[in-house]
Structure 1
Amino acid sequence: MEKDYSKYTVQDFLFDEAFILLAYRGTEEKEIWHTLLKEHPEKTIEMEEARRILHSMTFAEDEISEAQLTSIADKVKQQITAGEYQKKRKNQLSSLYKIAASLVILAIICFGTYRFIDFDEETSTDIPLAAVHKSNPRGQKSKVTLPDGSKVMLNSESKISFPKKFDHGLREVHLEGEAFFEIKKDLEAPFIVYTKALKATVLGTSFNVRSFPEEDYTNVALSTGKVSVATIDSSDIQNKVVVLEPGRQAVYHKGSSKISEGSFDMEEILAWKNKTIYFKQANMADIENKLERWYGVDITVENTARKKVSLSTTFKDQPLSSVLKSLAFTLKFDYQKGKNEVIIRFK
């Protein structure tokens, strides 16, 4: 391919005639974009944003020819070159939506017949009205099948939302909490997981996402395939896109708003999925939080000895009574167990 797609921005994709044709009609250029995705997975997010903007307008397939699309793109390019839409980077996506609006206007002026979907200037990750919402309380896990057949294991105290039907060449879900995804491969429809701070974009892979509101980090850990991770905040120019290989993870630190990349312990990260409680140098607060989420109980510790605890062990598919008995022996405490409450008293 002659074009240097590795340097393409969202704006570049918006004004690439072949991309516009692909986004609307899925012409023979599909193979070019399949090759692009394989060679430049780091550009998946830019392509997804461009396609999202283009699909804010929905033209009938037989109303726009390649020559007409080229004419529209050329006219908008002239406006951008003249500086009408140049903005600071922190307003870049807002500008792109204005550019998309100009495409609509030009299409109306040049070709008359049209139809389009309303859109706001600001980037939005709102859940569509026709959406499916799944949630688990503490002490419960569940399996969810998405509209495309992809599988999700949803952890306790977690919730996921997604449209009843994926369309416009995109597959998007919103997650709070933790889930393991096994995504069906589809080169024409990137799969995107949105958390409050991050979005992970894939084509077909398996990975774990952890994003609990009370924790100071969001984690994306890749098991198979490839995944591209970026922050939701488009104004943050210091965070580049992180493309993960199997066995690597991206961690977003809420305090510094930075993303770090590194290896991870697969057994530890995926323990919850395999019905295993995994403690690694856990203090008493960590133990409390994990047991409360796992078993759906409230735990109260009546003294300050918790500060001295450092526990490393695992429990495979065991009832709360067995776990408490083992922990009481190891950490030297007494406990009183009610229906939905546990009181711990250190000796």
Structure 2
Amino acid sequence: MEELLLKKLNGELLSTDEIIKLDAWIENDQKNRELFDQISLIWKYDQDKFDNARNEVWQRLQHNIGKSEHIIEDYAKENTGHKSRYFLSLSRIAAVFLLATTLALTLYIFSKNSVLSEEVVLIQKESLSGQKLTVILPDSTIVKLNANSKIIAPKEFSDDTREVTLIGEAFFDVKKNPIKPFVIHTENLDVEVLGTSFNVNSYPENQVFSVAVATGRVAVSNKGQSLKSELTPGEKITFQANSNKFSVAELDWDREFGWKDNKLVFKRENLNEILTRLARWYGFEIQSSIDIDKEKLFSGSYENPTIQAVLEGLSFVYQFEYEINKNKILIK
């Protein structure tokens, strides 16, 4: 697992099997997810700061972990300060110390980094399945989280940049500041703007990630910085994780932005894709006992619909019956 984490953090291309294995590990335990999020946040800072802080970091960790001190000592002997090896060992230690150790390390490195203030406080806002959430960031940027999404940001931005981490989907209306770029880090993409509005779709379980621009200009790059593109209003960029490719096209406004106004829009989507979105949108667990025709595509638009209204239309098109029992739906 350490090797997969390292490849992911370095922006290297993962195979389909590796993606499935890593996603399973992240989703298996909330502590795994929190650990991965925290490591991702500090991964972008330069190597020199890690080298300079390494010895004091490990002294502090030794003091905190007590009985497991010998693990850290073995680690210190084996490592030379390289950031990649640092986190490989951190992930091993995290099996014992998990989030507490990682958070302590994160805050320490942040406090030594001139990008952030000495009193570092991270805020984390999360929307549950079936829930949408509006968040106002310290610079007055407005973020609307779609269901099952999370944003992590410092309580106060630094003097020269505004950086946040997104998991899931969100619409950003960024407060304009020509001298302080706004950067969004996702699992596969980095998005940089000065002041604009746009949508980012980056659910970890997906293999396709996208950025759609409503106003202003947006710069998008993959984690390895091998792909870069600048978008203008009305454009959408799609990133295929398994092929590491960008594609840019004209966006469908209702499909990309409708969700924030409770408009549920499907455009040539198969039933698997639709059921995944419905489970997230309404907070239901959906199970299917039928063979799903992946080639049969559906388009439709609903304004603030009930789950029953959507299922009625789908059941007619795909010829199935459904049963709702509390928060579970069975397609049969």
Q: Which TM-score band (shorter chain)?
A: 0.5 to 0.7
Distance, in Å, in 1 between the alignment partners of 2:127 and 2:282 is 12
Q: Stretches of 4+ moved more than 6 A in 1? A: none
State the superposition RMSD in angstroms: 2.6
Shift, 1:129, TM fit: 5.2
Does 1:221 pair with 2:212? yes
The answer for the alignment partner of 2:201 in structure 1 is 210
Pairwise CA distance, 1:326: 2.8
Deviation at 1:119, TM superposition (A): 5.3
Change (3 A) 1:186 1:343: same
Q: Return the letter of the residue paired with 1:313.
A: G
Match status 1:314 vs 2:305: no
Matches of residues 1-347 of structure 1 in structure 2 within 5 Å?
A: 118=112, 130-234=121-225, 236=226, 239=227, 241-307=228-294, 309-345=296-332
Q: In the TM superposition, what whole-angstrom CA distance separates every residue of 1:59-113 from its partner, at most 9, and x where no partner exists? A: xxxxxxxxxxxxxxxxxxxxxxxxxxxxxxxxxx99xxxxxxxxxxxxxxxxxxx
* Cα distance change, pair 307–158 in 1 and its aligned pair in 2 (3 A): same
Larger radius of gyration: 1
Distance 1:253 1:335 in 2: 33
Q: How far 1:118 sits from its partner (Å)?
A: 3.7
Aligned partners of 2:293 and 2:284: how far apart in 1?
18
Q: 2:170 is matched by which residue type in structure 1?
A: A
| Residue pair 2:208, 2:238 contacting (<8 A) in 1 also | yes
Please report the TM-score for the alignment, with normalisation by the length of structure 1: 0.60
TM-score of the pair, normalised by structure 2: 0.63
Please give the alpha-carbon distance, in whole angstroms, between the structure 1 residues aligned to 2:120 and 2:270.
Answer: 42
Measured in 1, the distance between the counterparts of 2:294 and 2:234 equals 32
Distance 1:304 1:294, change over 3 A: same
Deviation at 1:167, TM superposition (A): 1.4
Query: 1:148 offset after TM fit, Å?
Result: 0.6
Name the amino acid aligned to 2:277: K
Distance in 1, matches of 2:236 and 2:292, equals 34
Cα distance in structure 2, aligned partners of 1:308 and 1:243: 33
- 1:262 partner amino acid: A
Task: Describe the SS at the equivalent of 2:152.
Answer: strand
What SS is found at the alignment partner of 1:196?
A: coil
How far residue 175 of structure 1 moved from its aligned partner, in angstroms, is 0.3
> Distance in 2 between the 1:162 and 1:273 partners?
21
Aligned-pair distance for 1:308? Answer: 5.5
Whole-angstrom CA distance in 2 between matches of 1:217 and 1:257: 10
* Cα distance in 1 between the residues matched to 2:295 and 2:221: 37
Aligned-residue offset at 1:262: 2.2
- The residue number in structure 1 matching 2:87 is none
3-state SS of paired residue (1:184) = coil
Comparing 333-342 with 247-256, which one deviates more in the overlay? 247-256
Query: What letter matches 1:287 in structure 2?
Result: I
Separation (CA, whole Å) in 2 of partners of 1:137 and 1:291: 13
Give distance in 1, aligned partners of 2:163 and 2:323.
45
SS of match in other structure, 1:139 = coil
**Corresponding letter in the other structure for 2:270:** N
Equivalent pairs counted in the alignment come to 226
Name the residue aligned to 1:33: none
Report SS of the residue matched to 2:316. helix
> Secondary structure at the residue paired with 1:268?
helix
The answer for the alignment partner of 2:54 in structure 1 is none
**Aligned residues of 2:175 and 2:195 also touching (Cα < 8 A):** yes
TM-superposed CA distance for 1:225, in Å, is: 0.6
1:254 to 1:325, Cα distance in 2 relative to 1, 3 A? same
How far apart are 1:309 and its partner, in Å? 3.4
Separation in 1 of the partners of 2:245 and 2:270? 25
Structure 1, unpaired ranges of 5+: 1-51, 57-92, 95-115
Higher helix proportion: 2
Is contact 2:132-2:146 (8 Å) kept?
Answer: yes
Q: Tell me, yes or no, if the aligned pair for 2:272 and 2:292 is still in contact at 8 Å.
A: no
Among all aligned residue pairs of Structure 1 and Structure 2, give the percentage whose two residues are the same amino acid: 36
d(CA) in 1 for partners of 2:179 and 2:169? 27
Distance 1:339 1:270, change over 3 A: same
Superimposed CA distance per residue, residues 297-327 of structure 1 (whole angstroms, 9 cap, x where no aligned partner): 1111112144463211111101112222232
